[in-house]
Amino acid sequence: MRIFPILSLLLISQLLVGCEMFQRLTPGRQAPAAEPATGEAATDIPEAQCPPPVELACAEPEVKVVERIIERTRERLVEVPVAKDKLVLGSVETVAIEPGGLRLRSLVDTSAPTSSLSAQKLTPFERDGKDWIRFELTDPDEKKAEPVTIELPVKRFVRVTRPGFDSQRRPVVEMSLTVGEVTHMVEVNLTDRGAPDYPLLVGRNFLKDAAVVDVSRQHVQGRPRERSDK
């Protein structure tokens, strides 16, 4: 326990020595002259002084302005090749129908599952115990043409519902449709829509696995060739 008094004395002695050194280095006070050696006169020792303060100016950082340019890629139209066995159709095409031998301006309707034909004077009847339908077709582009009467067996009946209209029960028959050089036998439902601009709506049952549609074009295939044409 005697260590603490000893340590206290050591700290006090160190503080006294430090104060004495501080007084020696204080400006205005002269350091004690050194004793002359071997009889020579002692020379004056200049008073210890701190160096004058120097003002330092930090250089301003260099600022670089970087202009960022964002280049946007322009849209390009890319033509996608279509398989050689696919028929390219526009939104409107001329279709030849059989029986009837008519060429009708038709609307290609990808939303319709079955093709639809506007006919007049729909008359159901029975033949050999089976349902048949008699109807008339006219080409709206041929004002003076006589209507064509067609009789076909009914394959089945479908009920079609359109927004804003009552549901209709329509007979379905098989007809041959020709667009360009391609002919398909497909089911067509019959209805009387009056005198529409497009008496035939070509549905997906004709387009499936046979054609692709470019809605930005019309009459891509031109007028189809009838069976009697060479």
SS3 23: helix
For residue 178, name the pLDDT band (cuts at 50, 70, 90).
very high
Q: Which two tokens stand for residue 44?
A: 């004056």
Span of 11-15, 118-122, 175-179 with lowest mean pLDDT:
11-15
Q: Which of 191, 22, 228, 38 is nearest to 116 (CA)?
A: 191
For residue 84, name the pLDDT band (cuts at 50, 70, 90).
low
- Strand pairing category for 156-160 and 168-179: antiparallel
Number of helical (H) and strand (E) elements in the chain, helices listed first: 2, 12
pLDDT given for residue 108 in this prediction: 94
Amino acid sitting at position 70? I
| Cα 12 versus chain centre, distance | 85
Span of 4-18, 126-140, 164-178, 200-214 with lowest mean pLDDT:
4-18
CB 174 within 8 A of CB 102: no
Q: Which two tokens stand for residue 142?
A: 């041929």
**Mean pLDDT, the chain, integer:** 76
Residue 107 pLDDT > 90: yes
* Cis peptide bond N-terminal to 99, omega within 30: yes
CB 218 within 8 A of CB 106: no
The domain made up of 87-214 has a fold known as Cathepsin D, subunit A; domain 1 (2.40.70)
What is the average pLDDT across 96-115? 92
Amino acid sitting at position 19? C
pLDDT given for residue 135 in this prediction: 96
The residue written with tokens 């060479």 in the block is 230
CB 171 within 8 A of CB 154: yes
What is the average pLDDT across 202-218? 89
Is 60 exposed, middle or buried, given 0-12, 13-18 or 19+ CB atoms closer than 10 A? exposed
Domain boundaries in the chain?
A: 87-214
